[in-house]
Amino acid sequence: MRRYVLRRLAQAVAVLWAAYTLSFLVLDYLPGDPVSAMAGGGLDGEQVGPEQVAALRAQYGFDRPVLAQYADYLGRAVRGDFGDSVATGRPVARVITEALPQTLALAGAALLLAVLAGGGLALVATYTRHRALRQALLSLPSLGVSVPAFWVGLVLVQLLSFRARLFPAFGNDGLRGLVLPAVTLAVPSSAIIAQVLAKSLLAALEEPYVQTARAKGAGRVRIHLRHALRGAALPTVTIIGVLVGQLMANAVVVETVFSRNGLGRVTAAAVGAQDIPVVQGVIVFGSLVFVLANLAVDLVYPLLDPRIVVAPAVRGGLA
């Protein structure tokens, strides 16, 4: 078990390093820099002279060779220091942590709704004996995946906010303000969960161990929830781990649609201002969330199927 955990941790560190390096290279390759953008529009409404531009470029390290910048930024990033925002002068870590609670609340609520809705739909669709109802339920996930999230958000705002006036259309107005963005974000994710779980359940119900349990007189509910669901859980848990990172990415669009103050608004403002430290900090944080979610999924695997830990050890011994 220890080797299994250490191997997964090493892979997580490698992914984070690759995400940081790629983001650094891509952002460095883009034309211009934040100081040039500030100089083009003026700084605090005043004209920026060449001397001030050179001083700012030296302050933020943009005048140094690329490798020197990379080594310095990577060393500070390892300590959790992503520098200061070029646009505001505030530490990037503080900018992210202040916006983080709103985004985590949105992504967490959306994930909970997606798991409940998608899992419930898959269970009902595979449990019912009515073929027409089953086909109708199984067709819903395809519709949910094909509908863009921003379109769902606009429809919800029009129906439940402007017409019914049940929920606020914009802003961070407590739990009521979280409902529409969370539902918008959950729709495509719940559809994916329903697709994967339903397909896995249908396959598990045909497995020999399920047939054996049925022959021994086990009831349909017991077979469905205890035997088939456990066998179908692995691919579903895998897709949930992937969806965590996708939810964080989609939150950028949803927060913009609903004018919520979160990482989405921070990212949009940083991209518009070419605020490279903030953009890179958000990218690395998103990669960290994705890595931690998949690491958690990897650690859950042995609980669902102990053979996952035993098999690598056997292969390593044979090698």
Phi, psi of 48 (to 5 degrees): -100, 125
Q: Would residue 62 count as lying in a domain?
A: no
Q: Would residue 226 count as lying in a domain?
A: yes
pTM here? 0.76
Q: How many C-beta atoms lie closer than 10 Å to residue 36's C-beta? A: 16
At residue 117, the pLDDT reads 92
SS3 109: helix
Q: Would residue 156 count as lying in a domain?
A: yes
Domain range for 187 is: 103-318
The C-alpha atoms of residue 93 and residue 81 are separated, in whole angstroms, by 7
Burial of 190 (0-12, 13-18, 19+ CB in 10 A): buried
At residue 319, the pLDDT reads 38
At residue 317, the pLDDT reads 41
Going residue by residue through the chain, which has 319 residues, state the pLDDT in tens, using 9 for 90 and above.
677 678 878 888 888 888 888 888 887 776 666 666 666 554 444 555 677 767 777 776 777 788 888 888 888 888 888 888 877 878 888 998 888 888 888 888 999 999 999 999 999 988 888 888 888 888 888 888 777 777 887 888 888 888 887 888 776 777 778 888 889 888 888 999 999 999 988 888 888 888 888 888 878 888 888 878 887 888 888 888 888 878 877 887 788 778 888 888 888 888 777 788 888 888 888 888 888 888 888 777 777 666 665 444 444 443 3
**Which distant-in-sequence residues (6+ apart) come within 8 Å of 109 by Cβ?**
178, 182, 186
CA distances (Å), origin 313, targets 8, 230, 238, 303: 14, 24, 22, 16
Type of residue at 203:
A
Q: Would residue 82 count as lying in a domain?
A: no
Q: Which two tokens stand for residue 284?
A: 């690395």
At residue 73, the pLDDT reads 82
At residue 44, the pLDDT reads 46
Q: Would residue 37 count as lying in a domain?
A: no
CB 78 within 8 A of CB 87: no
DSSP alpha helix (H) spans, the chain? 2-29, 34-41, 50-59, 66-78, 92-127, 131-146, 149-156, 174-204, 208-215, 220-222, 229-257, 263-272, 276-304, 307-318
Q: How many C-beta atoms lie closer than 10 Å to residue 106's C-beta? A: 29
91 forms beta bridges with 84
Domain count, the chain: 1
The C-alpha atoms of residue 277 and residue 20 are separated, in whole angstroms, by 12
State the Cα angle at 242 between 188 and 93, rounded to 5°: 105
- Please name which of 172, 226, 233 lies closest in space to residue 199, comparing C-alpha atoms: 233
**Cα maximum dimension of the chain:** 85
What is the per-residue DSSP string for 270-303?
HHHTT-HHHHHHHHHHHHHHHHHHHHHHHHHHHH
At residue 31, the pLDDT reads 67
158: CATH: 1.10.3720.10
Q: Would residue 184 count as lying in a domain?
A: yes
Q: Would residue 214 count as lying in a domain?
A: yes
Q: Would residue 83 count as lying in a domain?
A: no
